[in-house]
Each structure stands twice: as structure tokens, then as C-alpha cells.
Amino acid sequence: MRRIWHSTRFRVALVASLTSAVALGTLSVWFVVQLQGRLEQAAQEVAGERTRTIVQMLRNGTSATDLDRLTAGLLYEVTDRQGRVLASCPVLRDASLKPPGQVDVVTVQPYEIEMQAENTVHCADMFGRSVADDGTLTLYVETQASDDNRYLVRGAAAVDPAGAGAVTSVRTVLLAVVPLVSLLIGAIAWLAVRRSLRPVEAIRSEVAEISAHELGRRVPVPAGEDEIGRLAETMNTMLTRLDTAVTRQSQFTADASHELRTPLTSIRTQLEVLLTHPDHIEWRPACENAVLDVTRMQDLVADLLLLSKLEKAASGEFVPVPLAGVVNACLAGREPRDGVVITSDIAGDPVVRGNRARLTRMVRNLVDNAERHAGGYVHIAVSTTDTECVVTVADDGPGIPAEDRQLVFDRFVRLDDGRDRDDGGSGLGLAIVAEIARAHGGSVTVGDGARFVVRLPRAES
């Protein structure tokens, strides 16, 4: 039962049924009240017409005692100012048409009237079929004084029996139809919601079966461009991003493990040899080599931590940074390798919003990469456009093939696998450049040869 109550289909169907029941019930009550009101208004109008007829007779000089003969078929009563009955329809035995209080309705008990038409001078024909289930009769009374103010004339009428029967029939039908219609609406709502949620159930079922090793699976996208279709497309987009992230993380972990294994293996080998042959191995060179491997491993870990921080970098930490100062900081105290000349050309006053230390690291990595592959020179150029600051680092090295230009920004990528690892770096330098540029709202691309171009949004004045 608890599961049924928490079902969306059941709750929607219940709300639809209750809402329709309240709406239809209210409308039905209003309709019956309107019908009953029209019948009562008609009876009141008939009573008024009868009263005016009696008053007109009195105005024409008809005495109260002659009214019985002249008003056959009319239900009336004539009294003096003291309330004594001077004339009335014979059907009124002990009943009085004087309404209680200020209302215009009286209730006549069965023993107060003669209900047989043949004994009542046709008076009972007007109301004999309007008697209630308990035997009482409701009469609508209109009271009017005669012209000389000596008499009070009251005419009365009951609700039309045919109309009253019709209202009763309508009430009975509505009492049966309204619940049935409400249940039908609830059933239709249940079926409609079930049909609408069928794609959602398919999506839920598929997602429930997807594990960390099956992120390549996708949820079914229903036909049409409704909300459920867009939900399925969004879910597939999220799964694609998640699959990409997990694949990238797995590859990153494998590559990092491989990169860390090399210096660790080297350190272990050197220490084992030193322990095995303590008299034949110089301990100082062995320790120096181990320190170099530890330093390389430490630098690798630092680069990994920097990449992790860059992925979570917030632009709220950025301040205006002149790129001229960044380039000068990279070149200050730098000693290029033999045969390589590094030059720079800074046009204007390029300023970006960013983190100075990370921008400096970005330019330094580009210069390190260019110097490592340069034939004789490295050139750094900084320029501006209306919206961007452009940093270009070029060298005269062999360049990067067009098919590999996007790969160089992946982590642990070395296009020259044959060169020494110490010369080739860890394979994270250009990946760090790409992440720093992205974190600053910019981009980095590889142009002709070995020309790296970084574009960053220009800081507003």
C-alpha cells in the first residue's frame, strides 16, 4: 500500500479524481439549486397573481362572502386587521396562510387541509401532488392589503409538481453520475500518466543497469521533442562526459603509475646494487643518482597536483596581470642551452585577468618546450587585439606534424619516444599550458612548424 501511495501514477489519478469530484459536485449543487430556485420563483409569482386577483375583486365591490363562488381554483385567504378569517378556500380546514415572521413561506400539516380534490372546490388540484414525503406541504404566500386597508389578502401556490419531480430526478441522476465520472477521469489520468512515464521507466531501468565498467551504454531516447526526450538526451550527454572523465582518469592513473615506476625502479636498483656490493660501488655517485630520480619524481607529483588544482580553479581569484612582466620574469636569470638564443617582442601594454604565478608557469613551459627542440633560436611575441592578448612562442626546430598537433596537449604524451627521458620531460608540460589557458578563459593552438599561440581575454580598462 505504501508503494502504491508513493506511485506518481496513483497520486496523479487520485488528485484528478478528487478535483473532478469537487468540481462536478459543486457544479451539480449549483445546477440543482438554480432549478429549485426557478420553481420557487414561479410559485411565488403565481401566489402574487392570485393575491392581485382577489384584491381586484374586492376593489370591484365583491364581498368577502362571495369570493368562494368567484374564486374556484384559487388558494387564498382574506382576514381583517385583527387576523380573523373572513373568507378562504374551503380546502384550508384549520390551516392559516399567515407566514411566520417576515418570510413568505408557510408549511401546512396534513390534518389542516383537505387533500381530496372532489371535496375541495378544486383547490387541492393546485397542490395535491406537491406534498412532501412527511405529508407536509410548502406554500409560497404573497400578502397585500385592500384599497381601504380593511382586509389583508393572501394568495398561495405550491411548486409545480412536474418541475419538482424533474428536479428530484436530476438530483438522483447527478448523485450517481458524478462519482462515476470522477472515477472515470481518475482512470484516464492513471492510464495517461502510465503511458507518459513509460519512457522514464525505460530510462531508469537502463541507468540502473549501467555500472562503472559499462559507461558506454546509453539510455533510449523517445520520439518527439518533449521534456522526457530532452531528459534522455541530457542523461546521455552526462553519461558521455562521465565516460570521458572516467576513461581519462583511468588513463591518467595508468600513465602516472608508469611514470612514477621508472624513477622508483631506478632508485631501488641502485640501492640494491649498493647493498650487494658495498666495497665495489662508490656510494656518493649512487646517492646523487638516487637524489636525481627523487627530484624527478617530486617534480612529477608537483605537476600532477598543479593539474588537479587547475581543473578546480575559480576565476574569482584573478587579478589584472601585465603580460610584459610575466615574460620578463620567465627570461630573467635564464641560461639557454648552448647554441640557442631566446628573444622577445612585446607590443603595447597587454593586460589580462588571471593568476600571475600560473601565467608565468604557462609561458615558462612553452619556452622550455621550444628551447628543448629549437635548432638555434626561440622567439616570444606578445600582441593585442580589441578583445584578446596573444602570446606566441616559436622555435626553429623540426616542428610538429599536423596530425599530432592536438595530441601534444594530452597528458604524458611524447612525440619522440626514442629520446632520453631526462631530455623529453614528463609529458605534462604542454598539458599544464592547455589547462592554464582554459582556466583563464583562453585557448592554445599549434601553428605552422612549432609555433604555439595562446589567446587570452583582454582585461577591461
In a domain, 187, yes or no: no
Q: Of 138, 167, 196, which residue is a domain's last? A: 167
What does the block give as the cell for 265? 625502479
> Are 304 and 257 within one domain?
yes
299 and 390 together in one domain: no
Q: How many domains does the chain have?
A: 3
Residues 299 and 349 in one domain: no
What span, in angstroms and rounded, lies between the C-alpha atoms of 434 and 366? 10
pLDDT for residue 280:
73
> Within this chain, do residues 60 and 134 fall inside the same structural domain, yes or no?
yes
Question: Looking at the domain assignment, is residue 266 inside a domain?
Answer: yes
At 299, which CATH number?
1.10.287
pLDDT tens-digit readout, 421-445: 444 456 788 888 998 998 889 999 9
Residue 227 to residue 206: CA distance in whole angstroms: 18
- How wide is the angle at C-alpha 348 spanned by C-alphas 347 and 353, nearest 5°? 105
How would residue 3 be classed by pLDDT, with cut points 50, 70 and 90?
low
Contact in structure between 202 and 220 (CB atoms under 8 Å): yes
Of 312, 331, 354, which residue sits at a domain end? Answer: 312
The C-alpha atoms of residue 127 and residue 77 are separated, in whole angstroms, by 16
Same domain, 110 and 79: yes
Final residue of a domain: which of 290, 312, 334?
A: 312
**Residues 157 and 251 reside in one and the same domain:** no
Q: Which residues share a beta bridge with 144? A: 153
Average pLDDT over residues 164-191: 90
What CATH number does the domain containing 346 carry? Answer: 3.30.565.10
DSSP class per residue in 257-298: HHHHHHHHHHHHHHHHHHHH-TTTS-HHHHHHHHHHHHHHHH
pLDDT at 98 over 80: no
Pair (48, 85) in one structural domain = yes
Do 331 and 220 fall within a single domain? no
Answer yes or no: do 214 and 343 share one domain: no
Residue 188: inside a domain: no
pLDDT of residue 352: 93
Query: Looking at the structure, do residues 157 and 27 belong to the same domain, yes or no?
Result: yes
Tell me whether residue 205 is in a domain.
no
Highest mean pLDDT out of 158-167, 317-326, 422-431: 317-326
Tell me the per-residue pLDDT of 101-150, one tens digit each, with 9 for 90 and over.
544 555 544 444 444 333 333 333 344 444 455 556 677 788 888 777 77
Q: Find the farthest-apart pair of alpha carbons in the chain and give their distance in angstroms, rounded.
A: 158
Rounded mean pLDDT, 233-256: 81
Q: What does the pLDDT average to over 313-330?
A: 83
- Percent of the chain with pLDDT strictly greater than 90: 18
Residue 381: pLDDT band (50, 70, 90) is very high
353 belongs to a structural domain: yes
Q: Which residue has the higher pLDDT, 175 or 163?
A: 175
Same domain, 424 and 342: yes
What cell was used for 267? 632508485
Q: Is there a domain that residue 204 lies in?
A: no
> What pLDDT shows up at residue 416?
57
Q: Residue 418 has what DSSP assignment?
A: T
How many CA atoms within 13 Å lie on the side-chain side of 19? 9
Classify residue 202: in a domain, yes or no: no
User: Which of 150-154, 222-226, 394-398 shows the highest mean pLDDT?
Assistant: 394-398
Tell me: pLDDT of 11 over 90: no
Question: 37-46, 50-59, 60-69 — which one is most confidently predicted on average?
Answer: 37-46
**Per-residue pLDDT at 461:** 62
The span from the CA of 461 to the CA of 352, in Å, is: 10
Dihedral of CA 84/157/92/58: which sign? positive
Write down the pLDDT at residue 313: 60
3-state secondary structure of 216: coil
Residue 174: enclosing H or E segment and its boundaries?
helix 161-209
Whether residue 330 is found in the same domain as residue 308: no
Q: How far is residue 194's CA from residue 207's CA, in Å, rounded to a whole number?
A: 19
CA-nearest of 102, 103, 100, 108 to 75 is 108
Who wins on pLDDT, 134 or 315?
315
Query: 123-132, 163-172, 282-291, 386-395 — which is least confidently predicted?
Result: 123-132
Place of cell 501514477: 9
- Give the pLDDT mean for 150-168: 81
Cα–Cα distance for residue pair 297/257, rounded to 1 Å: 11
* Domain boundaries, position 422: 318-457
